[in-house]
Amino acid sequence: MVARHLHITGKVQGVFYRATTKQEAERRGVAGWVRNCEDGSVEAHVEGSRIALDELVDRLSDGPPAARVAAVEAEDVDPQGCEGFSIKR
């Protein structure tokens, strides 16, 4: 299992980006969380197989139809032992 911290910039709030992230993560068996940041970006912590995380990051680079993703920065981090996937407020 590997883990990554993601920082997503662009038009990613108010466009169902967090809900899409949760849906795509669950589809791939990825655990973790996603939340909005005060600066208008989104951050996430994701854990799973390297292949699943690579697929998720690729999908998040597009985002939902109303999003305009400028960048997805991914940093390898230590797993936190997350179970399931949640949207943090």
Which pLDDT value is given to residue 89?
86
Of 36, 59, 68, 89, catalytic = 36
- 37: domain range? 2-80
Stated pTM of the model: 0.95
The total of structural domains in the chain comes to 1
DSSP-derived 3-state class of residue 12: coil
Structure tokens at 47: 């854990």
Residue 87 lies in a domain: no
Whether 36 sits among the annotated catalytic residues: the reply is yes
Sheet arrangement for strand 42-48? 68-77, 2-11, 42-48, 31-36, 85-87
Neighbours of 12 (CB within 10 A): 26
Residue 9 lies in a domain: yes
Largest distance between two CA atoms of the chain? 32
The CATH number of whichever domain residue 72 belongs to comes to 3.30.70.100
pLDDT tens, position by position, for the chain (89 residues)? 999 999 999 999 999 999 999 999 999 999 999 999 999 999 999 999 999 999 999 999 999 999 999 999 999 999 999 999 999 98
Type of residue at 46: V
Residue 89 lies in a domain: no
